[in-house]
Structures are given as structure tokens and as C-alpha cells.
């Protein structure tokens, strides 16, 4: 049994006659008949009965046809995969990102993909984690950067890192001079700014802590750069997360302190489990992982002072 014999069988099955099958394959009728006869001899049963209306599949022939079609469907998928890999070398790759890192870490990870001689195109979709995960599952994007604390059971996690919340405090504020962790529950109404309820829930603060923050924060936002800027403008502490210190570029004049209450936030790179990443998307994933890992290399404490960290040159990432 070989591919030529299977192609002959499929053609005759489809056309209903040897002459029709020969026309489909652009070959002679005797050649096609010989291929069918050789196939029947190799498998040990008849595939067709020859009647007035042409070639009629036997019961065994119909069962065999189902198996052959499944095999060809697998071959078509292999061809599609190979075509996608070949096209991705110079074609478009699609990357998704949550807003908090779309203008900071993602561009840095893309610098390694620059090639003046390549026609490769890169599309970046910015959205919420659930929307990006859905796009990954629908094959609309190759890989996405999402929050590590969202539900990830339907996708494959390529890389994941988690980190704590942090309080950014303007220099000169009474809390700036203390090394003790900031107790959110002791912060007075209107004395601080913070993420909104949705993000606080993503960071897994206790419900009572979230209720206190939302009820007492002077300003809430889902944007880290906005909160950092508001913190400086209003001289109020900002409840954000550790990565904000490294990615906003706006933290000069602020110091960072740990928060007494436990929280967890993080980043994850996800892809569809059954999808092989094209080389450029894999290169992006590796570069992104290296950048984020270096940010937290050796378990470094990011609350040593936001001003000095923000002064780091971009290449230090």
C-alpha cells in the first residue's frame, strides 16, 4: 500500500468510475485500474464492485474510505502547519498584551526581532486578560502577555512570575521616612490613591482590605502610569504593584515601601496548547522572559527606593 494507490482509490470513490477517477488524476484508465487492483491485493479485500453505474464501493470499501479520509485530513493539517511556519518567517506574527506592559516590556522584547532585510510584520493587540486569552484560543494571536493571577487552565503557560503589591510614597510625606511596611487599614480617607476594585481583586487582596481601599482612596484607576502621576501631583501615596517601579519611568521623587497586607500580582506568557509557536514568536517569548527575570534576578527587593530604580538606563533591563 502506497500513496499513489490511496490517491487512486480516493479518486475512483469520488468520481464513481475509473474513467472519472483517471480524469481527476490526469492519468490513464488502465494505470488507475492497476493501482486499485494492487491496493486490493495488498489489503486483502475488494474495495469496489463493478456494475452498470460504474464502481460501487463495498461495505469494506466505505469503511476503508473513512479511515483514508481521516489520514488525509491529518496530512492537510501537517501541510497547513508547515505553510504557517514557512510564512511566519517573513509574514505577520500576532502578539497580545495587557495595557500595563504594552508600552514598556513588550517593546523591549521586540528589539531582538528587528531585521532590516526581513519583510516580517508584527501586530500587537492590547486588551484585557480574558479578551487576550480568548484571542489565543481562537488562533487570532500567537502569544499573549496577561496577568498571572487570572484563570489560565485553558491555555498553556510558557512563562510565569508573581510579585507583591507596593506603596509609592512622595518624598517629604510622613510615611516616606519609615522603613516599616505600610498598613493599608490605617490609611485615612482621602489620604492615598489606588488601583480600582477590579485590579485589587486580581491582586488577591482580602475582601475587607479591598472594601477599605475603594471606600477611602482619593483617586482610583486601572492605569499604573496615571496613579504614579497623580501620586506625585497630589503628594499622596499610591497603592500599586512592584513592577510599576521598573516600567513607568515616572517615579522620580517617590520612594517605595512594602505593604503589610498580602497580595499577589504577576505576568504570564500564554499560548494555545496545541499550537506550535513560529520562530519569531518564540524569540519574543524568550526575550520577554529574560527581561522580566532580570528585573527580579536574585530575588532583589524592589522596595529599596523608587527614585534610584527609575534612574536606571533602559538597557539595564
Domain boundary assignment for the chain: 3-88, 163-265
What pLDDT shows up at residue 90?
52
What pLDDT shows up at residue 173?
92
The model's pLDDT over 271-283, given as tens digits with 9 standing for 90+, comes to 999 888 888 888 8
Is 0.75 topped by the overall pTM? no
Is domain 3-88 classified as CATH 1.20.120.530?
A: no
What pLDDT shows up at residue 205?
93
Query: Does the pLDDT of residue 135 top 50, yes or no?
Result: yes
Kindly report which listed range (38-42, 146-150, 165-169) carries the lowest average pLDDT score.
Answer: 146-150
Query: Does the pLDDT of residue 75 top 50, yes or no?
Result: yes
The model's pLDDT over 216-266, given as tens digits with 9 standing for 90+, comes to 999 999 888 888 889 989 999 999 988 767 665 556 788 889 999 998 888
**What is the overall mean pLDDT for the chain?**
82
The domain 163-265 is placed in CATH, from the list 1.10.150.110, 3.40.190.290, 3.40.50.300, 3.40.50.2300, at 3.40.190.290
The model's pLDDT over 44-71, given as tens digits with 9 standing for 90+, comes to 999 998 877 778 889 998 999 888 888 7
What pLDDT shows up at residue 210?
96
What pLDDT shows up at residue 302?
38
Alpha carbon of residue 190 to chain centroid: 38
Amino acid at each position: 500500500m502506497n500513496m499513489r494507490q490511496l490517491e487512486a482509490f480516493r479518486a475512483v470513490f469520488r468520481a464513481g468510475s475509473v474513467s472519472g477517477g483517471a480524469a481527476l488524476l490526469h492519468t490513464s484508465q488502465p494505470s488507475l485500474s492497476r493501482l486499485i487492483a494492487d491496493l486490493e491485493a495488498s489489503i486483502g479485500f475488494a474495495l469496489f464492485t463493478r456494475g452498470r453505474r460504474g464502481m460501487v464501493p463495498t461495505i469494506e470499501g466505505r469503511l476503508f474510505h473513512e479511515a483514508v479520509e481521516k489520514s488525509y485530513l491529518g496530512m492537510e493539517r501537517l501541510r497547513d502547519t508547515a505553510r504557517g511556519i514557512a510564512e511566519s518567517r517573513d509574514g505577520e506574527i500576532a502578539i497580545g498584551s495587557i495595557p500595563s506592559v504594552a508600552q514598556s516590556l513588550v517593546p523591549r522584547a521586540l528589539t531582538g526581532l528587528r531585521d532590516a532585510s526581513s519583510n516580517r510584520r508584527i501586530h500587537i493587540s492590547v486588551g484585557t486578560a480574558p479578551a487576550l486569552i480568548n484571542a489565543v484560543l481562537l488562533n487570532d494571536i500567537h502569544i499573549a502577555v496577561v496577568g498571572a493571577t487570572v484563570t489560565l487552565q485553558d491555555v498553556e503557560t510558557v512563562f510565569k512570575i508573581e510579585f507583591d503589591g507596593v506603596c509609592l510614597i512622595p518624598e517629604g510625606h510622613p510615611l516616606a521616612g519609615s522603613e516599616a511596611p505600610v498598613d493599608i487599614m490605617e490609611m485615612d480617607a482621602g489620604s492615598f490613591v489606588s488601583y480600582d476594585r477590579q485590579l485589587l481583586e486580581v491582586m488577591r487582596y482580602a475582601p475587607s482590605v479591598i472594601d477599605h481601599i475603594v471606600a477611602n482612596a482619593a483617586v482610583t484607576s486601572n492605569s499604573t502610569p496615571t496613579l504614579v502621576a497623580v501620586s506625585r501631583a497630589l503628594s499622596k501615596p499610591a497603592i500599586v504593584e512592584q513592577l510599576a517601579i521598573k516600567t513607568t519611568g515616572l517615579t522620580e521623587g517617590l520612594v517605595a515601601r512594602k505593604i503589610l497586607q498580602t497580595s499577589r500580582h504577576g505576568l504570564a506568557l500564554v499560548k494555545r496548547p496545541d499550537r506550535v509557536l513560529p520562530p519569531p514568536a518564540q524569540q519574543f517569548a524568550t526575550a520577554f522572559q529574560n527581561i522580566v527575570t532580570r528585573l527580579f534576578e536574585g530575588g532583589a527587593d524592589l522596595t529599596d527606593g523608587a527614585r534610584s530604580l527609575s534612574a536606571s538606563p533602559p538597557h539595564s533591563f
